[in-house]
């Protein structure tokens, strides 16, 4: 798999929400959560 690293700026509220998901153990990291959300968004967009 060819992986690229991106720097992303997000509003404080989104970062806090991501941190909450990580602290609850839903995701291991912010990056993992963002990858999952991105994949799901792309899958949903393609099916419409």
pLDDT digits (tens, 9 = 90+) for 1-48: 798 999 999 999 999 999 999 999 999 999 999 999 999 999 987 766
Residue 40 makes CB contacts below 8 A (sequence gap 6+) with none
Give the Cβ contact number of residue 8 at 10 Å: 8
Share of the chain above pLDDT 70, in %: 96
Which pLDDT belongs to residue 11? 98
User: How far apart are the C-alpha atoms of 33 and 46, rounded to whole Å?
Assistant: 20
User: pTM for the whole thing?
Assistant: 0.79
């Amino acid at each position: 798999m060819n992986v690229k690293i991106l720097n992303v700026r997000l509003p404080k509220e989104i970062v806090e929400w991501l941190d909450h998901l990580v602290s609850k153990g839903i995701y291991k990291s912010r990056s993992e959560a963002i990858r999952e959300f991105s994949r799901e968004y792309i899958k949903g967009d393609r099916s419409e």
